[in-house]
Amino acid sequence: MTGLYARHYMFENIRNMLDSNPDTEYFTVFLDVKNFKIVNDIFGSDFGDFALCQIANWIKDNVSEKCVYGRIAGDTFGVMVPSDEFDADKLEEDLANFVVTDGIVSHQLHIYLGVYAVRDREADVSVMFDRAHFAISSATDEYNTHIAFYDDKLREKVMWDQKISSNLHEAIETMQIRPYLQPITDNNGKVVGAEALARWIHPEYGFMPPYKFIPLFENNGMIVDVDRHMWRCACELLSEWKGKHDDLFISVNISPMDFYYINVVSEISKLVKEYDIEPRKLRLEITETVMMNDAGDRMKTLDEFRKLGFIVEMDDFGSGYSSLNLLKDMPVDVLKIDMKFLSDSEENEKPMTILKNIVKLSEELKIVSLTEGVETEQQYMQLSEMGCKLFQGYYFSKPLPENEFEEYLKKSA
């Protein structure tokens, strides 16, 4: 249909070319169209076929007689090109605006190129294309680059991601992933609760802080499993604390992804029922990014939580798009302000002025303010004076394993 070689014949020709030009360095280029299924779906398969032919023509226009190219499958193509003929800038320019038009329909295609600089010439040609394909996974997150190169760092990252992901379920079952508790203190210095933060004690890699696995799982959706596990652990702790620490709450994190994949209200309410816990003891931390999509729907969800008696906290206020405007409509009880987003400033005065005003504003909106990332006594004093009600940070304590948290409670009492 496209007039190009099919996969098998292309690979054979590439093999011959590699063998007969031992002094030429080559790039393996894997071309993939993002969401091509949708093109077929919306515009029909005739238009889809037409689009594929346009891609084939574009490839022909951009190669010399020293290249071998073909169609790998469906909407993927391959090119083997001498490295000195690969002009990334020109290709990037074409791909920034690749519009297919048949006179009636015009549609912009999102085409990505993964590139592998052939080092191991003896390897299977299909392996070379697999590596080039790999590279694409690193490009599709970014909006303005359509070309991604395969390198060792990428390879290691992909292997790490796969390894960690395949370990997750066992890690949850065997409690390798468990909550550490960071105390939350009021303005009299009394511990009133804790935030549950995930730690992974990996049998092979040892102690792993969240940045080593949370971002990956947020990307691939597995964060839902981590969060569910953390919510359950928090309920278990609260249940153990009955009659012992009746006045303490635990805050858990809800990732924006959770809202997308599961019914958070029903799952979390089921949990507190199962463990017979007052909803107000399991505080829920959400970030403002959850409001970026379906703000209306999300507000309803937060309202539902509050009607059920949960306390909803806006996490990381000040980190991103925080709009003071959104705040007046936000159905939240607590505003968590992170000092570290403010402390980049050279002087010490500005962050404090900003904090003072956020605290004042939240007071007027009847929202409790909690400052996290409090590291010095001076910060604690100043914040207390401003009217901030709750505090969390290294000045009080780092996140602690359960037994050390118990000790901390005794000491601070």
Cβ nearer to ligand C2E, comparing 67 with 352:
352
Contact predicate 164/219, CB 8 Å: no
Strands 76-82 and 68-73: antiparallel
Instruction: Identify what 210 binds: ligand C2E, Ca ion, none; CB under 5 to 8 Å per kind.
Output: ligand C2E
Q: Residue type at 340?
A: K
Contact predicate 55/77, CB 8 Å: yes
Contact predicate 251/184, CB 8 Å: yes
For position 315 contacting Ca ion by CB under 5 A, the verdict is: yes
For position 255 contacting Ca ion by CB under 5 A, the verdict is: no
Spell out a b/e string for 129-138, using b for 16 or more CB atoms within 10 Å of the CB, else e.
bbbbbbbbbb
For position 258 contacting Ca ion by CB under 5 A, the verdict is: no
Cβ nearer to ligand C2E, comparing 4 with 197:
197
Shortest approach of Ca ion to residue 129 CB, angstroms?
42
Q: Which of 350, 355, 387 is closest to 368 using CA atoms?
A: 387
Cβ nearer to Ca ion, comparing 253 with 255:
253
Contact predicate 286/315, CB 8 Å: yes
For position 371 contacting ligand C2E by CB under 6 A, the verdict is: no
Instruction: Identify what 223 binds: Ca ion, ligand C2E, none; CB under 5 to 8 Å per kind.
Output: ligand C2E
**Among 399, 400, 405, 408, interactor with ligand C2E by CB under 6 A:** 399
Beta-carbon-side half-sphere exposure of residue 170 (alpha carbons within 13 Å)? 8
Which residues, other chains included, contact 358 with Cβ-Cβ below 8 Å and sequence gap of 6+?
317, 318, 335, 337, 369
For position 288 contacting ligand C2E by CB under 6 A, the verdict is: no
Instruction: Identify what 369 binds: Ca ion, ligand C2E, none; CB under 5 to 8 Å per kind.
Output: none
For position 75 contacting Ca ion by CB under 5 A, the verdict is: no
For position 373 contacting ligand C2E by CB under 6 A, the verdict is: yes
**Among 158, 160, 210, 365, interactor with ligand C2E by CB under 6 A:** 210
For position 404 contacting ligand C2E by CB under 6 A, the verdict is: no
Q: Which of 325, 331, 336, 231 is closest to 281 using CA atoms?
A: 231
Shortest approach of ligand C2E to residue 266 CB, angstroms?
18
Cβ nearer to Ca ion, comparing 258 with 316:
316
Shortest approach of ligand C2E to residue 231 CB, angstroms?
9
For position 198 contacting ligand C2E by CB under 6 A, the verdict is: yes
Shortest approach of ligand C2E to residue 309 CB, angstroms?
22
CA distance 250 to 192: 9
Binding mask 315-344 toward ligand C2E (x if CB under 6 A, else -) reads xx-----------------------x----
DSSP code string of 38-93: HHHHHH-HHHHHHHHHHHHHHHHHT--TT-EEEEEETTEEEEEEEGGG--HHHHHH
Q: Under the rule (CB under 6 A), what is the footprint of ligand C2E?
A: 182, 197-198, 209-210, 214, 223, 226-227, 230, 253, 255, 315-316, 340, 372-375, 393-394, 399
Q: Under the rule (CB under 5 A), what is the footprint of Ca ion?
A: 253, 285, 315-316
